[in-house]
Amino acid sequence: MNEGMHADSKGLFESFKVLAASLIAITHTRLDLLSTDVEEDRDRLIAILVLLLIALFCFGLGIVLLAVLIAVAFQDSYQLLILSGLTGIFLLAGAAIIGFMLQRRKAKPRLFAASLAELAKDVQQLRQRP
């Protein structure tokens, strides 16, 4: 009878070891997904900031050229055509970049979406087990 109890306790101990190993593996996987989500969000934010700086540069240059255009507007030459074309190009580029940024911001995935989806799968699998 003592051997039977020893075998049962050894089996129970092994079950706990397997359970602990599974929990550690699940935790490791989830933390890895979480770090990936954070890295992706950081990269997206940096890209948006770079585009914002480019857009601000284009708008700033467009405003300067608009001021020069107004100053030159009283002369009769092709400088007016050139300055108006450059002003339009930079203002349109700035507007296009702002539009692209706003569209990209709206299409942003939810923070930690992959991690939350995997956790939901884990919960569902745990509930299905007898």
Task: Give per-residue pLDDT as tens, 51-109.
Answer: 999 999 999 999 888 878 877 776 777 777 777 888 888 899 999 999 998 888 887 66
CB atoms within 10 A of CB 30: 17
Q: Can you give the pLDDT at residue 46?
A: 93
Q: Can you give the pLDDT at residue 3?
A: 56
Q: What is the C-alpha to C-alpha distance for residues 36 and 83, in angstroms, rounded to an integer?
A: 47
pLDDT band at 115 (very low <50, low <70, confident <90, very high): low
pTM of the model: 0.50
Read off φ and ψ for residue 35, nearest 5 degrees: -65, -35
What is the domain extent for residue 59? 26-128
Beta strands in the chain (DSSP E): none
Q: Is residue 74 part of a domain?
A: yes
Q: What is the C-alpha to C-alpha distance for residues 130 and 115, in angstroms, rounded to an integer?
A: 25
Q: Can you give the pLDDT at residue 73?
A: 75
Q: Is residue 93 part of a domain?
A: yes
Q: Is residue 56 part of a domain?
A: yes
Q: Is residue 86 part of a domain?
A: yes
Q: Is residue 21 part of a domain?
A: no
Q: Can you give the pLDDT at residue 35?
A: 83
Q: Is residue 3 part of a domain?
A: no
Long-range own/partner contacts, residues 108-111 (CB < 8 A, 24 or more apart): 108/44, 111/37, 111/41
Mean pLDDT of 97-125: 75
Looking at the structure of the chain, the number of domains it has is 1
Q: Is residue 10 part of a domain?
A: no
Q: Is residue 5 part of a domain?
A: no
Q: Tens digit of pLDDT for each residue in 23-41?
A: 888 888 888 888 888 888 8
